[in-house]
């Protein structure tokens, strides 16, 4: 026989029992500031894109999004820090193709696994490279350059902004696919490489649209092709390298948002949905295009599959061409 309780006490117990599950629910994410680690110093493309997206997410979430620059060791210091962080959704990583897809093959040993240690969230942006040549060059597109290179075997070079950089890898991929013997001339950064490309020392150079683009528009460099699979929205009349003479070619850098591997899937999907909504807004896309970038999109699964394909692609090239970081 059940013990008798006064009506008021019984009602109170029932009310508390009904409220218990609700009281046990965690606060909606995010309930506090979110830190986004950028594995580069302030001022670069990845940093600029992160700050743009971070501000938009802060407005969406009504919580601070703090950008934390942890540069050094080709991006590996900041990436490793996030890999070891608690997977609670309050530490995220905005990384790029180098630390996530290239370093694992370029360096003998790295302290993180780019696949196992992270949950992909969303591709934030694609940063195409422009294949440029001196304004005085006797070729004006990829097909003409290939013909010129065949006629000048042993004399052809390409410049890059540094060993192991996207610029270097793009040049090696181009030489490999075109079956050309091209001498690599590395520089310490985009500035000096562009100076020598304009001066005629470099026969071709792959460089970011943001840095090389103004020289193309100013008539100091010729644009032979764009490195992405499709044409750039900000350069709609510029043919891709693939359609201009080397079918199948694509080589570019990208930025993407990642979380530590233990981050709950529901948090990953929320960040993905909110970021996608921002990235595909006309205003945000226009701001990215002004940075020489193309807005990313897609599901966490899309980014995960893309990352694995990128790792395999560059691993094969680095092995076949014997590419070293310095």
Beta carbons of 171 and 234 less than 8 angstroms apart = no
State pLDDT tens for residues 229-270.
999 998 999 999 999 999 999 999 999 999 999 999 999 999
State pLDDT tens for residues 143-190.
999 999 999 999 999 999 999 999 999 999 999 999 999 999 999 999
State pLDDT tens for residues 265-310.
999 999 999 999 999 999 999 999 988 899 999 999 999 999 999 9
Element (H, E) at 242: helix 241-244
Element (H, E) at 131: strand 129-134
How many residues are there in the chain?
326
Note the maximum CA span of the chain.
102
**What pLDDT was estimated at residue 186?**
96
Percentage with pLDDT > 70 across the chain: 92
CA–CA distance from 215 to each of 151, 182, 236, 286 (Å)?
27, 24, 17, 21
Query: What is the band of 4 on the pLDDT scale with cuts at 50, 70, 90?
Result: very low
What is the overall mean pLDDT for the chain? 92
Phi-psi region of 21 (alpha: psi -120 to 50; beta: other; left: phi over 0): alpha
Per-residue pLDDT at 95 exceeds 80 = yes
257 has which bridge partners?
Answer: 94, 122
CA atoms of 161 and 207, how far apart (whole Å)? 7
**What pLDDT was estimated at residue 27?**
81
Query: What is the band of 116 on the pLDDT scale with cuts at 50, 70, 90?
Result: very high
Q: What is the pTM of this model?
A: 0.88
Query: What is the band of 11 on the pLDDT scale with cuts at 50, 70, 90?
Result: low
CA atoms of 60 and 299, how far apart (whole Å)? 19
**What pLDDT was estimated at residue 1?**
44
Beta carbons of 262 and 117 less than 8 angstroms apart = no
- Classify strands 34-38 and 91-96 as parallel, antiparallel or unpaired: parallel
CA atoms of 139 and 196, how far apart (whole Å)? 17
Per-residue pLDDT at 3 exceeds 50 = no
Query: Which domains are present in the chain?
Result: 34-127+253-321 (3.40.190.150), 129-244 (3.40.190.10)
């Amino acid at each position: 026989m059940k013990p008798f309780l006064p009506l008021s006490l019984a009602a109170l117990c029932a009310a508390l029992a009904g409220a218990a599950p609700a009281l046990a629910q965690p606060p909606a994410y995010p309930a506090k500031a979110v830190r986004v680690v950028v594995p580069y110093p302030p001022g670069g493309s990845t940093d600029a894109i992160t700050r743009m997206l971070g501000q938009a997410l802060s407005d969406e979430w009504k919580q601070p999004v703090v950008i934390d620059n942890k540069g050094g060791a080709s991006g590996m210091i900041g990436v490793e820090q996030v890999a070891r962080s608690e997977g609670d959704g309050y530490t995220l990583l905005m990384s790029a193709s180098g630390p996530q897809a290239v370093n694992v093959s370029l360096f003998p040993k790295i302290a993180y696994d780019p696949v196992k240690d992270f949950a992909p969230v969303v591709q934030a942006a694609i940063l195409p490279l422009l294949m440029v040549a001196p304004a005085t060059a006797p070729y004006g597109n990829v097909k003409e350059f290939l013909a010129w290179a065949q006629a000048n075997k042993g004399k052809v070079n390409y410049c890059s902004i540094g060993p192991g950089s996207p610029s270097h890898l793009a040049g090696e991929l181009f030489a490999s696919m075109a079956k050309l013997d091209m001498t690599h001339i590395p520089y310490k950064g985009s500035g000096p490489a562009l100076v020598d490309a304009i001066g005629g020392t470099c026969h071709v150079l792959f460089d970011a649209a943001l840095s090389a683009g103004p020289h193309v528009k100013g008539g100091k460099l010729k644009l032979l092709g764009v490195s992405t699979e499709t044409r750039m929205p900000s350069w709609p009349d510029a043919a891709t390298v693939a359609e201009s003479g080397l079918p199948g070619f694509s080589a570019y850098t990208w930025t993407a948002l990642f979380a530590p591997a233990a981050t709950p899937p529901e948090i990953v999907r929320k960040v993905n949905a909110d970021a996608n909504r921002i990235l595909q807004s006309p205003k945000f896309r226009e701001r990215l295009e002004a940075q020489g970038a193309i807005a990313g999109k897609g599901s966490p699964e899309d980014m995960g599959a893309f990352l694995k394909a990128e790792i395999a692609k560059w691993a094969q090239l680095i092995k076949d061409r014997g590419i070293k970081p310095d």
